[in-house]
């Protein structure tokens, strides 16, 4: 017969892991935690994509700087829908200002034409919208000369990009070949000029004149070029900060889209944060 115990029986449990206890192998613990690791990696990728998407939405421009042309020179361009017209036909000629990415306060224009072939009066000049005030809009019929001056008032935004200064609505009055020429001598301040904002310096560097054929004369040949949808260029806003703007249409040169005087007719606003 067993002798009864006089005290309570106490059971002690051994800790699951001790220095001498069996440990779970590393590869088993790795397998067990793979879902946690994958979830963490996916969460990091999602955060990175959200940050990149936000930055992309803030900037409408591609990040490749080599796709953007440098700030260029200012130009004046004469253009018309067709260069071969009939006697008695109205000939609308756009005077296009190309600032090359620079902000401008004013443009002064002098155009020479032959009054034997073309007729125009001040009433036949349609003002553009790139400047607010047109202080001069004169025609010397005898000399065959047109003068236009347009300015931006103080403390108002100037113009940067490509836009129409004015449209000259001529009347074709004599058969033959005639030319419209912008009066321009590089470095002169008494002829046509484009004034950059803030520094009052003439930045006009290039002009494109216009040949017209009236009646049954020789047809003016149009150059064959490869066109493209547009290009980006660096630009300065009105306080001198550098941004980028998209200019529509151009010509492709060595597989790069660049400015063309007849095709490039409009640029977007100058945007910062590229």
- Report the percent of the chain where pLDDT is more than 90: 58
Q: What is the mean pLDDT of the chain?
A: 81
Convert the pLDDT of each residue in 199-253 to its tens digit: 888 999 999 999 999 997 666 666 688 999 999 999 987 777 899 999 999 999 9
At residue 13 the predicted structure's pLDDT band, cuts being 50, 70 and 90, is: very low
Convert the pLDDT of each residue in 185-211 to its tens digit: 988 888 999 999 888 889 999 999 999
SS3 (DSSP) at 122: helix
Take residue 253 and report the two structure tokens written for it: 């040169």
List, in sequence order, every residue forming a beta bridge with 112; answer none if it has no partner.
145, 181
- Concatenated DSSP letters of 13-56: PPPS--TTSPPPPHHHHHHHHHHHHHHHHHHHHHHHHHHHHHHH
Rounded Cα distance, 253 and 237, in Å = 28
Convert the pLDDT of each residue in 136-156 to its tens digit: 999 999 999 999 999 998 888
At residue 36 the predicted structure's pLDDT band, cuts being 50, 70 and 90, is: low
Residue 68: pLDDT over 50: yes
pLDDT of residue 160: 94
The hierarchical CATH code for the domain 73-221 is 2.60.40.680
Residue 84: pLDDT over 50: yes
Name the residue with tokens 């072939």: 117
Take residue 42 and report the two structure tokens written for it: 């996916």
Residue 19: pLDDT over 60: no
pLDDT of residue 37: 52
φ, ψ dihedrals at 3, nearest 5°: -80, 125
CB 154 within 8 A of CB 106: no
pLDDT of residue 220: 62
Closest alpha carbon to 192 in 203, 184, 181: 184
Of the chain, the end-to-end C-alpha distance in Å amounts to: 97
Residue 42: pLDDT over 80: no
Take residue 230 and report the two structure tokens written for it: 């547009």
pLDDT of residue 95: 98
- How many other CB atoms sit within 10 Å of the CB of residue 62? 13
At residue 33 the predicted structure's pLDDT band, cuts being 50, 70 and 90, is: low
CB 96 within 8 A of CB 162: yes
What is the model's pTM?
A: 0.73
Rounded Cα distance, 235 and 36, in Å = 49
Residue 18: pLDDT over 50: no
């Amino acid at each position: 017969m067993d002798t009864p115990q006089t005290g309570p029986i106490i059971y002690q449990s051994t800790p699951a892991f001790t220095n001498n206890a069996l440990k779970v192998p590393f590869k088993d613990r790795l397998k067990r935690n793979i879902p946690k690791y994958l979830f963490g990696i996916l969460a990091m990728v999602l955060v990175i994509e959200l940050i990149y998407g936000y930055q992309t939405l803030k900037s409408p421009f591609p990040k490749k700087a080599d796709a953007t042309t440098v700030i260029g020179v200012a130009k004046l361009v004469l253009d018309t829908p067709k260069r071969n017209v009939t006697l008695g036909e109205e000939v609308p000629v756009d005077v296009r200002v190309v600032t090359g990415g620079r902000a401008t306060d004013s443009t002064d224009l002098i155009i020479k034409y032959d009054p034997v072939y073309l007729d125009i009066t001040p009433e036949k000049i349609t003002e553009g919208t790139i400047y607010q005030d047109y202080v001069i809009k004169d025609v010397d019929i005898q000399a065959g000369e047109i003068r236009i001056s347009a300015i931006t008032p103080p403390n108002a935004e100037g113009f940067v990009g490509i836009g129409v200064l004015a449209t000259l609505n001529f009347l074709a009055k004599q058969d033959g070949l005639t030319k419209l020429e912008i009066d321009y001598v590089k470095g002169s301040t008494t002829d046509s000029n484009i004034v950059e904002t803030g520094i009052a310096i003439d930045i006009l560097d290039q002009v494109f004149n216009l040949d017209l054929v009236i009646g049954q004369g020789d047809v003016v040949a149009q150059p064959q070029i490869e066109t493209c949808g547009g290009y980006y260029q660096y630009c300065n806003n009105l306080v001198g900060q550098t941004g980028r703007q998209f200019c529509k249409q151009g010509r492709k040169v060595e597989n790069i889209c660049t400015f063309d005087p007849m095709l490039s007719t409009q640029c977007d606003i100058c945007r910062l944060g590229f």
